[in-house]
Every structure is written in structure tokens, then in C-alpha cells.
Amino acid sequence: MRIVVSGGGTGGHIYPALATVNRLKELEPDTQVLYIGGERGLEKDIVPKAGLDFKAIEIQGFDRSISLNNFKTVYLFLTGTSKARKMLKEFKPDIVVGTGGYVSGPVLYAAQLLHIPTVIHEQNSVVGVTNKFLARKADKVGVAFPDAVSAFKAGQAEIVGNPRAQEVVQGKGDFDWSSLGLDGQKPTVLIFGGSQGALKLNTAMVDAIEKLNMVDYQVIFATGQKRFDEVQSALKEKNITPAQNVAVVPYISNMPQLMPKVDLVVGRAGATSIAEQTALGKPMVLIPSPYVTNDHQTKNAQSLVDANAADMVTEKELTGASLFTAIDQIMSDDNLRRSMADNSKALGVPDAADEFIKLIERVLG
């Protein structure tokens, strides 16, 4: 198979694409792949390091207010489409797959103009602008959330999960609890706000640690590399010392090994994180970021709350007290935690990469 993949801007679009390619190469080692991304997105660094052929085009998103900058956006879309056409004609793919982000717009649109089959993947419960545009002529759409199916034409979208989840479920190795000074036999809460951390979550955690020091379960709090010193200073200022059951660290370098071992996950409601946690069957306390397009993290979180797989605390409601209450309610009730874990697992697709690849292969016949 010869396949072009396009998706970028954020890891939420890039990692599902890479997971799909990695699994496809395991199943069909002769697969030829070209990744077309943006000149300024994270993909320009991540994809070449993954060993894939990479080409870039310049692209940007629309301003949501009336702006002269939108004329440049249109211009870049048209020139990007022209460049993508040339790349596609040279590579001659059997199919073009888009996983979202502005860059996938001109690439898949060029493929549609050339009558090359296209498949898109939507990671969120709320469909992105680019995928809405491309869906008009896409052959098939794979979605991670059931809520997204109704946004597409009847029969066009299928629930396949998020391919990134399969890599986490199949993660190898074990976690060294002694590296954190914790006990691998005790129930554990993992709290993190992403690789960079989340300021409001960190502030709430500083206020919650005194109560968490006294519980009979243990806590891992990853502050984010850039915010670790801030948290340490805040704890010192308040004269708070984490007890033996609370580990405060900048980040977890081997998250795929840790995640299967924890009993509750507290963090943001990004599509990739949710896909990983549901595939593993983890109950969650979700704190959606209010700073994302169309507030899609809140809608992602709400879909899990509706399924009784998660609790949600909005940033507006987030304090040390509300965070502790949400965590302790779940960790102090074994039956509730098991029920939420079962509901979470029912939403997950642990073999999502395989399911998405099957969808791609059905398009090719």
C-alpha cells in the first residue's frame, strides 16, 4: 500500500496518525508512507524522528474575528493545495488519510480533486472545522466518540476509537515504584495537567495536599516540567510538606508503563488522553481546558460523565476543596471505582489502530 498521511499542529492530531502508520507497517511491512505536515507545527520535528518521509507546506488557521489576516489564510490554502497536488502526483498514493489540524485541509482537498480516495479521523466529540469541510467528499470517517457520528452523512462515519490508545494498551515493561518512593500495592491516583502542566490544577493541588497527606491511598502529582519550581515554592511558602504517600514530580517519562497501574486519573479532557484512559478502563476526574476551540474538552468530558465513567470539575469550580472531594469520593468507595472503571472500559477501543486500518482497507476494497 502507498499511503499519504496528513495531520498536525498538536500532538492530538499527530500521534493518532503515527500510531496508525506504525501498526500498518507491522501488518504490511511493504507499506510506503509519506507524511505531509505544516512548516510550523509540532509534526515537523516529531515525524522525521519517527523515521517517516516528511514534506511540509505553509498553512495557518482562520481568525474567528474579521481580519485581513484571513486573506492570507485563503492564499496559503490555495497555494498549499497546489503544492500538495504536486506531492501527490509524484508519490501516487492509493489513499490519503487525514487526522485533523489545518494542514490536512489542503492535502486531502488536493487528493479529492485528483479523485484519490480519502479517509479522515475525528478524535473529538465535536467535529473540527477542517474535518467538516473535508467530510463533504471524504469516502469514510473514523470517529473516537459516538457523539460525533451524527455530524456526518448517514453511513459515512464509523466508531473506530483513537489509534493512539492501542499503543498504550500494548505498552511493554513495568513501572519502578521505588523511583517515586511509593508502594506498588497501594491504590494510586495519578494527577497531571499535560506535559507543560496546568496552572489552575497545580494551584488547587497545592491547596489539597494537606488533606491528601492523611488518606490511606497514594498520589502521584506531575506538575509539568516548567511549573515544578513554582509548585515547590508554593508548598514551601505555605509550609506544606508532602507525606510519604504523595509524590510530587515534574513529569513522568514512562507514562505508558505507569498508566495501567493506577486506579484513578485526574487531568484534562483531551481526546488522546481520554482514548488512552478508556482503553485501559480507568475512572477519571476530568478538568476540561476552557481555552480550546469550541470548548470541545468540556463536551468530551460530558460524554464520559453521562456514561458514569468520570466526574467533571470545571476550572471555574476548581479549588483545593472541590478537587479533594472529587478524588476522595471515588477512592474511598471501591464499588463506585470499579463501576466507573467498567463503564470507562466499555467506551474504550483497545484495538483502535486495527479498527481504523480496517476502515481504510474497506475504502480501498
Is there a binding annotation on residue 273?
A: no
Cell of 20: 496508525
CA distance 312 to 305: 7
Residue 266: beta bridge partners?
A: 191, 285
Residue where the block lists cell 491516583: 189
Is there a binding annotation on residue 343?
A: no
Is there a binding annotation on residue 297?
A: yes
- Calculate ∠ Cα 319-266-271, nearest 5°: 120
Is there a binding annotation on residue 213?
A: no
Number of H helices, E strands in the chain: 14, 13
CA distance 281 to 54: 35
Cell of 182: 511509593
Is there a binding annotation on residue 348?
A: no
Is there a binding annotation on residue 252?
A: yes
CA distance 167 to 10: 18
CA distance 343 to 334: 14
> In angstroms, what CA-CA distances link 238 with 98, 193, 212, 310, 352?
48, 22, 15, 31, 45
3-state secondary structure of 340: helix
Is there a binding annotation on residue 11?
A: yes
Annotated binding site for UDP-N-acetyl-alpha-D-glucosamine: 10-12, 124, 195, 252, 297
Annotated binding site: 10-12, 124, 195, 252, 297
